[in-house]
Structure 1
Amino acid sequence: MKLFTTPFIVAIILILGSTMSSFSQDLDSTAKIDSLSNVYAEHVNTKPQEAKNAALLWLEECRRLDLKIQEARALYALGNLGNITGDYKSTIKYTNETITLLKESNIKKGLAACYNILASAYKSLGEYPKSIDNFMECLSYSRLTNNQAQEANAYQNIATLYLLQKDYKKSAENLDRAANLYRAIGDDDGVLTTLFNFANIMKEQGKFDQARKHYQTVLGYRLKEGNKAVVAYVNINLSQMLVLEEKCEEAVVTLKKTLALLEELKFNSDIAIVLNDLGLCETKLGHTKSAINYFQRALAIGEKQSLLHYKSDIYKNLAQLYQKENNYKKALEFYQKGVTSVANQNSIDKEKYVVKIQERYETELKEARIQLLEKEQKLSEAELQKVELTVKRQRLIRNALIAGFILVFTILIILRLSYVKRLRIQKELSFQQEKNAKQKISEMMKDHKLSVIERYQEGQDEERSRLAREIHDGIGSDLASIKIAFEHYTEQYKEDAQSKRIATAIDNACVDVRSLSHQLHPLPFSKIGFTSFLGDFVDQISKKSDLKIQTFFFPEEDIDKLPDELLADAYRIVQELINNILKHAEAKKVDVQLTKHTDHLNIVINDDGKGFQKNKKQGIGLRNIKERLQKLKGTLEIDSSPGHGTSITIDIPIN
């Protein structure tokens, strides 16, 4: 199971970057350092080897120029990269060097991020006591520096530790804390990461359908971003669910694709996880030799990366396979290694527990000594009190006079403050009443505008309905009569080519009239199926023009179940946008995507046309769409520039 947190590199670069103003160096060297850091940030999740090479050159240049803060940034970048690629030993090495540099420079900002990835590395190596210690350090520095992002990251990582212990309730509680902090600071990427870890909880509880839904949501966003690292992590978990569901043949195909991506990224620790899962699948499919090969490859990586908690499982799996092959010598050898690995892991936790007990004992001893010193101090103070008693009596009269004066002065101040406060409250009340009146007027104007829009759109719909009836009952009926009369008239000329062409033209006209009638005023979508009807409309547009239109509905069944009024507005919006593209965009390809979320319907339409300037005066079509969305309380976003096509995103609330 692969667990991950929000990438920290951007945060630490911003944090440490704020201290760089005191270091003025040669401009060319600074530009080189900035260039290397940009190369690292660009390739960290897609081409880790290129990112590592850039970070090493970055570090070398900083040490040459003796730039301590920049050196800390470069070291942190290398530690973060090790955490992503699974080289946890390098993460521990570089991150500890970063912490040392920051503390020597008396810089607290950035320490929270360092302790966070350090704890993540120890967690991945199975050293959970060290991991939790570093997470607590991260929380401490996050609160000290008011770094809500790193505090959220720490809660998220602590949640993964509880998940490993199968304490799903505490895991979910920590994820909720993290998600609330991410929302407070507007970190959508962090919220998406918590969604991934919520999916992990669902998976561990056996709620595969819910988990798969969350994974697919995360996968969709990460594919758009081109974040190969997270795409690989999601696919690992999706494949593991197939293994748990004993869909081994399907799992093998998915795991091999994921393995190819991980090998491209050189994520060694994750490769070991996938190889282990492939070994399990091949074991269940009865392919013993292939399973042994996968386990051996996983073991080689696990030993190199010191992955204790994975090694013990692989040893056990190999022992069982060799036992099936009647190779009892190797079976016993791997069984003993597995037992030793588990014992070593347990001994680490035990040693940590003993250290904790010793710390508590020493703390209690110190507290006892402090209590003795306090008692001795109290005895000395009792003798001093006798001497001070005489002095206090002399001071008592003087203090009484001073207190009386202060009391009178205080009363006068309180009366003055009370009067000023009453004046301020009256002024604020008057201002609030004026503000409420203005707000009420604004709401009334808004309601009136919405009412006008609704009446206008109702009039449009009624006119469309009337035109649809006129076309269907008038022109449609006339064409049908002409068709029947022509067929009767040409009965004796059935084989005549000219007659066939005219008959075909009449049929096409009938189809076009019926289609136009339905587009102007379609039947209730609950009867005809919204996605099917919209698909037919798109197909007709594609046939009549050079425009290639692709549609995506997810999930189709849930979209078709939406209220007819909402679907009618959605249909008009899509129809208006496609007509606009046909008239103005000069596009060759259009993608139409409708996605139903829990509380809203999302519509995304992309074209490869000529685009337009955002500040250009908008036509009637877009104005109609905006008025319709205003009635629905929906939102519209347009992303376009000349020569680069147009992307339109619309969200319509469901409730």
Structure 2
Amino acid sequence: MVHKKGYPIIFLIIAIFCVFNLKAQEGVRFHAFGEIPRSISDSLYQTLKNAKTTNDRLDAIYTIAEEHVLYGNPDSVIHYAERLDKLSSNVDYLRKVRAKRLLGIGKFMNGLYNRAFEAYVQGLEIPQNKSTLDEVNKVNFGLGEVYYVRNELDKATIQFTKLLAQNIDSPLLSKVNFYSGNIDLRERDYESARTFYSKADSLCDSIINPKLKLQIQLGFGKLDVAENNIDNALGIFENVMQSALNSKFYGLYTEAVLEYGKISTQLGRYEVAEMALAMAYTNAIQWNRLELQKRILNSLRKTYSAKGDFENAYNLTTQYIAVSNQVLKQQNSKALKELEVKYNTLQKENQIFELKEQQIEKQSEIERQKTIKKAVLYGFVILLIPIIALLVVYYQKLQTQSQLNQQQEELNSQRITALLNTQELQLARTSLEAQQEERHRIAKQLHDSIGGNLAGIKLQLGNLKNNRRFQTEIINHVNETYELVRDISHDLVPKKFHQNAFTKLIEDYIGTISENSAVEVTMSAHPKEKINQMPEKLKVELYQVIQELFTNTLKHANANTIEVHINILENTVQLIFEDDGAGFDTNSVKKGIGLQNIESRLEKLDAELIIDSALNRGTAINIEIPIKD
């Protein structure tokens, strides 16, 4: 049994062993590491220790930092990046840019994307020359990575497109093609994604850059999963796990294990999935990789939900929210916004600088040709006069045509507005007529049935003189009147909640959403029998809350997937509503009418509402409603 606080403790107990192996039924072996295995050669540290000059020491620090980048040790990367920055002189622009780039990589590996963005922008603020050109390109690539993981795909595409237009070296060009493939994979353009992956693979030298080669293979595996080539994907992930382990790329190994666990869940191999994800989570905790912890926790939650263990799925959701809050605390949103403005300004200043240089180069050429141009222009003046006259006439015609088009557009707009107003008025009239018809029906039923009965009772009371037969008739009339009132009351409750199971109503509603939109919606309910036996008032309110959540998400979130989970645990109904859309800042965004309506409904039910969201990270909403007799 997994509990809210017990889950990481279990993994840390496993992590006591220095290297601990577990083997799945299919023969795949997973590894958990109690500490970060040493992957850096002692000779590099000895070189740093024996360095006699400042330049030798700085070169040794840079080499060690790049080795830690290769083997995925973010804290060590940050440590040596800060040392490189501190020891480099202010005029050593190349080493300063390198230090900021390495610092950005370390923050990025730890999931602190805002901090990584800050470091990269600081690197671009350093004066540039020919010696810093390659490093600046790598910094711009780092910014593209940040935009990608923050789901700002348009900005990431712009960043990578700029790099593809430049003369960059093969390793960086391979990385740019790889991330371009990742963007197309996320946008479900699988053919284009495979093309980019193939370009990246052809440019990547497996001897010079073995880690990138394996990352590209991992991308092919994810693409096979998206195209439902599961067997091929499993083979790729197993190969990447083994190769990464042999090469001591432990972070990449953990990424492959995570993907293997996801497929195992999809195939219903829950024990294999739990084992793989448990090992991956152990490593993520040991290495303090917060963003990786979140991804693994989310996969574990889905695994437990798929196998019907909703209590543990709920506990993991709570832990996922806690890790998310920990990441948010370490980010600096206000500073990030200022940096974004600074970065955009810096980009504009660079463009202005380039334009000025081009202008200076062309100025002498302009001066040289000025005399020749004057002579040519004087010769063409006579010819230009009639041409200008024709252009003026043509311009006037264009102006007239533009005015006519504008008037036509205004007229069309007025017609559309009139049609919409007419349609709205017709809908309002139809709704009013339906209400009036229903009111007349109820009034007629009250008048014809209950009114007649009450009149009979009144007459019988007037004739009552200790006559037992009349008393019996009066009692019968009263009972009949009570039943009629009860029938009328039941008629006012929506019939669909009498005639259908509650879970079936939700499934039908979700089916309608899926058919009429591009959003992929999944739903789970457990146990269905208890959910369908909830009080009728609670069913109506919960149904309307779900409708309101879907309306808000489809209108604002721009999501690709939505997950809905309804559970009953210990006489409490739990609704988890999660999407992968744009998200929002819960501290600054003003609550709209939809969210206010939801809170108003939940307040009547004494329910608890928890919202976990951040920009470009989707939204998770957790609602708990006590079931009252």
Q: TM-score when scaled to structure 1? A: 0.44
Q: TM-score when scaled to structure 2? A: 0.46
